[in-house]
């Protein structure tokens, strides 16, 4: 099936497109998460879309680095990856998820794609505005600290607002796990501009990336189970992969996770099997990312305007965290959240 190529991609969108291509290999394992989390509720989704747009637009370089970190060739695995069949490629992706080894997924990419991403990540780190970057990094660290300090109060708030949730210990464990994950992110090389500028990103992914993915597993494991939760890690352990058809350079595989099936079209690039959708848009995606990196000049009037907007957004988020840190009652948190949601909904007009 022919897939259309995106008409225009900014840096965050292109990065998400790239990661989506890799993550398609494990997409069936994510089925049902939206229903479980409540994100599929139209009102919540609208607010989240507004927040996603604003954050990725204003802090795109920071998020881009975190998302694509580690696309780098590894000499010891080149021959092994080239020898994989389509079915084995998808099976290895599931195995990587099960073992919290994101670098194994990235090793599945063709060497030319890995080099593209390596160069993009280093270029973003070299061209990013240091002040804005560090402001975002500090905000993540503050989020971690506020979660840990207010874990008791936030647990009470969640019990009040999440249906079928009556396990304070599990909720508190989840808050602690989220605090640990974001704290590690803020302190790790993944968010350190100077470290990223040095390259050798795969090493970071195999160390800090591995630790972050393991921390994310703890967060997911502590989430309330309302009876329909889909566990990515458990799904990865139980998934099966079937080959539907293949020739020398194209293939279609079917992944089966419980009652869910997903057919994935693959193409062979430089000896590696990757999703066809990813290959269709790769060159346009990389070209657009390079153009946007070249335009990352904060000395221009447009650049200064973008920096001011980023500072405003990050400052607002910092202020909300300060309010939560000082809150004493559930009613205090409810008022803060209500004000935040109203601000986010009103922020939809900022998109253009």
In 3D space, the residue among 208, 146, 209, 140 whose CA is nearest the CA of residue 175 turns out to be 146
How are strands ordered across the β-sheet holding 240-246? 240-246, 250-257, 260-269, 272-275
| Chunked mean pLDDT (size 10), the chain, 352 residues | 35 40 38 38 41 39 41 47 85 87 88 90 89 94 95 86 70 88 91 87 86 84 57 74 94 89 93 93 92 83 87 92 92 86 62 43
pLDDT of residue 24: 41
C-alpha–C-alpha distance, residues 95 and 174, integer Å:
25
For the full predicted model, state whether its pTM sits above 0.75: no
pLDDT of residue 288: 93
Strand partners, 245: 252
C-alpha–C-alpha distance, residues 211 and 234, integer Å:
18
pLDDT of residue 79: 58
Residue 184: how many CB atoms within 10 A of its CB?
18
pLDDT of residue 159: 81
Alpha helices in 69-129 (DSSP H): 78-82, 86-98, 102-106, 111-127
Strand partners, 44: none
């Amino acid at each position: 099936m022919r897939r259309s190529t995106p008409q225009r991609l900014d840096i965050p969108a292109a990065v998400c497109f790239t990661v989506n291509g890799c993550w398609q290999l494990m997409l069936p394992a994510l089925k049902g998460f939206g229903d479980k989390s409540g994100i599929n509720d139209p009102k919540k989704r609208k607010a989240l879309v507004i927040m996603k747009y604003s954050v990725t637009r204003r802090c795109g370089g920071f998020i881009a680095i975190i998302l694509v970190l580690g696309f780098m060739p590894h000499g010891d695995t080149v021959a092994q990856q080239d020898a994989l069949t389509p079915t084995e490629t998808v099976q290895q992706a599931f195995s990587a998820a099960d073992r919290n080894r994101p670098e194994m997924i990235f090793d599945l990419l063709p060497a030319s794609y890995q080099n593209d991403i390596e160069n993009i990540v280093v270029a973003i780190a070299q061209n990013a505005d240091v002040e804005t970057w560090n402001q975002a990094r500090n905000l993540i660290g503050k989020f971690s600290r506020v979660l840990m300090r207010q874990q008791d109060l936030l647990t009470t708030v969640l019990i009040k607002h999440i249906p079928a949730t009556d396990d304070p210990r599990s909720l508190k464990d989840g808050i602690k796990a989220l605090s640990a994950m974001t704290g590690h992110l803020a302190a790790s090389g993944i968010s350190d501009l100077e470290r990223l500028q040095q390259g050798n990103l795969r090493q970071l992914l195999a160390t800090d990336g591995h630790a972050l993915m393991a921390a994310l597993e703890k967060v997911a494991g502590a989430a309330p189970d309302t009876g329909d939760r889909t566990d990515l890690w458990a799904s990865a352990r139980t998934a099966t992969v079937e080959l539907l058809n293949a020739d020398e350079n194209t293939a279609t595989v079917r992944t089966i996770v419980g009652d869910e099936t997903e057919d994935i079209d693959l193409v062979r690039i430089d000896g590696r099997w990757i999703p066809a959708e990813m290959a269709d848009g790769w060159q346009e995606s990389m070209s657009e990312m390079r153009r946007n990196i070249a335009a990352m000049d904060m000395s221009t009037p447009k650049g200064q305007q973008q920096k001011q907007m980023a500072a405003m957004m990050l400052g607002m988020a910092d202020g909300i965290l300060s309010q939560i840190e000082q809150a004493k009652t559930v009613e205090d948190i409810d008022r803060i959240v209500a004000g935040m949601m109203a601000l986010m909904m009103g922020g939809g007009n900022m998109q253009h």
